[in-house]
Copies of this chain bind each other. A is one copy, B any other.
Amino acid sequence: MPAYGQYCPVARALEVVGDRWSLLIVREVLFGGRRFNEIERGLPGISRSLLSQRLQLLERGGVLERRVREEGRVPEYALTAAGRDLHGLIGALRDWGGRWAFDDPRPEELDPAWLLSSMSRRYRRGAVPRRMVLEFRLRGGRRSHVWLLLHPRSGSEVCLKHPGFEADLLITAETRALFKVWLGRLSRAEAERRGLLRMEGAADIRRAFPEWFEWPSLPPSRGAAVGGSPAAARG
């Protein structure tokens, strides 16, 4: 971001992380995004060239580092000490946004691929005894069928096509409701009671499921600073 010409720590901070997308990129890496395509998946709408340019700016800004661990392996991005220290700033943004700008999802935000990338990023490694396949059948979003693979050791994977394994847990839901449940704006019980979400699978798996993720915790809304679409208010 061009300089502000002020010897002020707020202005200086914004020069480094104030560019459009930059803090969202940091958010991705903060939650474990390491590879280029992985980071990109968490930022639908960004172009590859812009992501590439922003990553370079953040590297020059001392916020992250690009590393090629071994000859021939893919590059990985990691936060520096300064970058990790941005967690407080991201937290402040999340708190404020949750309180004042986080009403119901807008239709164009209902992208299941993004939701799953977000869940995948918050998967607790090793929380699962064996490979688990979660199947999502969704209504009212930009995609109706997605899968999430949880590996016991390595990590998790988003699949937009049938992964070839049978599902251990089938989640059928209104996309809007699934988003709200994930982001703590609607309880699972309430969603199930209202027929907006249903989970099928072995009882122990259904019971254990919530433990597999670190659910985002948000402050309660204190009124919309910005209004959402009126249609969004329903549910």
Interface residues, chain A, with chain B CB atoms under 8 Å away: 1, 3-18, 20, 23-24, 27, 44-45, 60-63, 80-82, 85-86, 88-102, 105-106, 108-111, 114-115, 118, 179, 183, 218, 222-226
Q: Knowing A12-B97, A13-B97, A96-B85, say if A111 contacts B60 (CB, 8 Å).
A: no
What are 18 sample pairs from A and B whose C-beta atoms fall under 8 A apart? Answer: A3-B106, A6-B44, A7-B105, A9-B93, A10-B27, A11-B97, A12-B226, A13-B101, A14-B24, A14-B93, A16-B97, A62-B100, A62-B225, A81-B222, A82-B99, A82-B100, A89-B92, A91-B92
Q: Which of B3, B63, B85, B97 contacts A9 (CB 8 A)?
A: B97
Chain B: minimal CB distance from A36 (Å): 19
Please name all residues of chain B whose beta carbon is closer than 8 Å to the beta carbon of A106 when the two chains form the complex. Answer: 3, 7
Interface centre among A7, A14, A99 (most CB of B within 10 A): A7
Please name all residues of chain B whose beta carbon is closer than 8 Å to the beta carbon of A62 when the two chains form the complex. Answer: 100, 224-226
Chain B: minimal CB distance from A196 (Å): 16
Protomer copies: 2
Q: Establish whether residues B100 and A60, one from each chain, have CB atoms under 8 Å apart when the complex forms.
A: no
Please name all residues of chain B whose beta carbon is closer than 8 Å to the beta carbon of A4 when the two chains form the complex. Answer: 24, 45
Q: Establish whether residues A93 and B13, one from each chain, have CB atoms under 8 Å apart when the complex forms.
A: yes
Q: Establish whether residues A20 and B44, one from each chain, have CB atoms under 8 Å apart when the complex forms.
A: no
Please name all residues of chain B whose beta carbon is closer than 8 Å to the beta carbon of A14 when the two chains form the complex. Answer: 20, 23-24, 93, 97
Q: Establish whether residues B179 and A7, one from each chain, have CB atoms under 8 Å apart when the complex forms.
A: yes
Interface centre among A3, A81, A225 (most CB of B within 10 A): A225
Q: Establish whether residues B24 and A63, one from each chain, have CB atoms under 8 Å apart when the complex forms.
A: no
Interface centre among A10, A13, A115 (most CB of B within 10 A): A10
| Residue in chain B with minimal CB distance to A26 | B10
Q: Establish whether residues A90 and B10, one from each chain, have CB atoms under 8 Å apart when the complex forms.
A: yes
Query: In the complex the two chains form, what is the Cα distance from A96 to B89 in whole Å?
Result: 8
Q: Establish whether residues B96 and A88, one from each chain, have CB atoms under 8 Å apart when the complex forms.
A: yes
Q: Establish whether residues A102 and B12, one from each chain, have CB atoms under 8 Å apart when the complex forms.
A: yes
Extra contacts, 16 of them, besides A61-B226, A82-B225, A88-B92 (Cβ < 8 A), are A3-B106, A7-B109, A7-B110, A8-B97, A9-B95, A9-B98, A10-B23, A12-B226, A13-B93, A13-B94, A13-B100, A13-B101, A18-B23, A60-B226, A82-B99, A88-B95
